A and B are shown apart, each in its own frame.
Chain A
Amino acid sequence: MRYLFVAILGLVLGVAGAGAALYYNPLAERSAPMPGSTDRKLHYSLPDQVLEFAIGEDARLFGQETGDDSLWEETIDRAGVLGLVLNDGSNQPAALASRLLSASPDTDLLLNGVLVSDDWLVTIPGEGSFYVHADSNAWPFLKEQLVPVWYLDQPWTGPVEYWPTVGPGADDSAEVVGLTGSFRGSEGSAVEHYEITALDPARNVAQANGELYLNLPGPQVAAQ
């Protein structure tokens, strides 16, 4: 009996130790390098500039209602579709973006964090469209903000900012492919940054300002 008690105690302590190691694991907190000063910046605020947000039933971080148009099918129940207006430097609407989000199969709490595949399709009227493929690490936000504040009722201390982009580019930035108009044939990189400005579960309020830093040089291949 004593052996059993000691074994259970050891097991519990081992699990707790590993949990602490995972919680403070620096491997799960990497992020892309800071954007260059010449990068183009498109920014948005949440929820003001949300055109539409449909989310899978198993992807509701804030426990929100999914409504009649929820992504309930089991193949897409951990995905989301977000329509956004993006503003330019003068804070005027400059672009429309569709973000298709899904839990990444590369999620690994030991090595990578909680990864979200974030596919942006952005159209800037008069310029064209481009596609951004980003892997974003949600783990720092989840452990520092969402779980303690939203679910454990701890007081929120903010604002707080995050650089979630962790790939899949070689330098941990997102990959960008120009599709149409002046972007056609160009390739580049992008990094996202966001600042949470309010998080209040009692009032059901979550607000953030986000920025997409875009480095998209001219076409790599001259038009024929």
Chain B
Amino acid sequence: MKTVFLLALLIGFAGTLAGAHFAPALKHERLPSNTTVVSNGGRAEKFMIRLPADRIAATDGEAGGLRAKGADGVMIMPAQFVAEPLLIEHFKVRDSGGAVIGVAARHWNGTGAEATTTWSVLIPSRGALVLSSRGETRAALDSALRSRGYSAGKEWAGTVTLPMTGDGEGVVAAGTGEFENLLGTYRETWSVAAVDEDGKVSGTIELSTVTSRLQ
């Protein structure tokens, strides 16, 4: 009797500790990575953002233009920052097959000697990827749309494709998890197909990365 009691006690105690140690309860759902091998041995992967569906929020500063005013989720900045050339945007991120796999923050900062763009892309099951580049000029998207006939308050449809990485491409600046110790470059391209009368932009943002492992 005593042996049975002690054995059961031990099993209960050890089993609970083992469960606490090995339980996979917090593992994130993972989809296969849509990567391809490029000719120099690196790895290419595209991330997509579909507008307006994947926009979570954007700051309401003057620098945001259509990207701020047409958004549903508005981040109301402190008065000190409203006139500053700053734009913070939050998105959901998709793989090249169109499935949502993560979330991202984009910071455009025009307050320094040159405008800069930084991205933090978090794919919970894989890690975080941090990108940095020279930024686009202020209100670049608004200017490109106006040059194709868009005017505020009116619906517009057409095609505008706009590279948003100054100098052609930016760099992979940091990474965690699967993206740790990766070197590489990226290109950011916005393709806009329509703008509604409220200024809501429909289109896609494509982040094309080429990375290789730091030796």
Binding site for B on A (CB under 8 A): 2-3, 6-19, 21-22, 51-52, 54, 68-69, 71, 73-79, 81, 83, 85, 92-93, 96, 98, 100, 102-105, 107-111, 117, 119, 121, 123, 125-129, 131, 133, 168, 177, 179-181
Contacts and interface: CB of A to CB of B under 8 A. Distances in A.
Interface in B64-101: 72-73, 75-78, 80-81, 84, 86, 88, 90, 92, 99-101
B78 A85 contact: yes
B102 interface: yes
Contact of B105 (A78, A100, A107, A117): A100
Interface string B115-140: 01011101111001010100000000
Contact of A129 (B15, B73, B116, B128): B116
A2 to B, nearest CB: 7
Interface stretch (B5-13, B40-48, B146-154): B5-13
Nearest to A119: B128
Interface of B: 1, 4-17, 20-21, 26-31, 56-57, 59, 72-73, 75-78, 80-81, 84, 86, 88, 90, 92, 99-105, 107, 109, 111-112, 116, 118-120, 122-125, 128, 130, 132, 173-174, 176
Nearest to A10: B8
Nearest to A125: B111
Given A83-B88, A98-B107, 20 more contacts: A12-B12, A13-B9, A14-B12, A21-B13, A79-B122, A85-B77, A92-B80, A96-B59, A96-B88, A103-B124, A105-B28, A107-B26, A117-B122, A125-B111, A126-B112, A131-B130, A133-B174, A177-B173, A179-B130, A180-B118
Given A3-B1, A15-B12, A177 B75 contact: no
Given A52-B73, A110-B21, A133-B176, A11 B12 contact: yes
Contacts of A117: 122, 124, 128, 176
B31 to A, nearest CB: 6
A17 B13 contact: yes
Contacts, number: 227
A9 B8 contact: yes
A31 B195 CA distance: 49
B109 to A, nearest CB: 5
B92 A76 contact: yes
B26 A78 contact: yes
A220 to B, nearest CB: 14
B11 A3 contact: no
12 contacts: A9-B8, A14-B13, A14-B16, A15-B13, A18-B17, A51-B77, A83-B57, A85-B78, A100-B120, A104-B26, A123-B109, A131-B120
Given A75-B31, A93-B78, A52 B105 contact: no
B174 A75 contact: no
Q: Which 7 A-B pairs have the closest CB atoms?
A: A14-B12, A10-B8, A98-B105, A18-B16, A51-B75, A109-B20, A14-B13
B52 to A, nearest CB: 11
Nearest to A120: B120
Nearest to B175: A133
A98 B122 CA distance: 12
A75 B92 CA distance: 11
Nearest to A12: B12
A128 B116 contact: yes
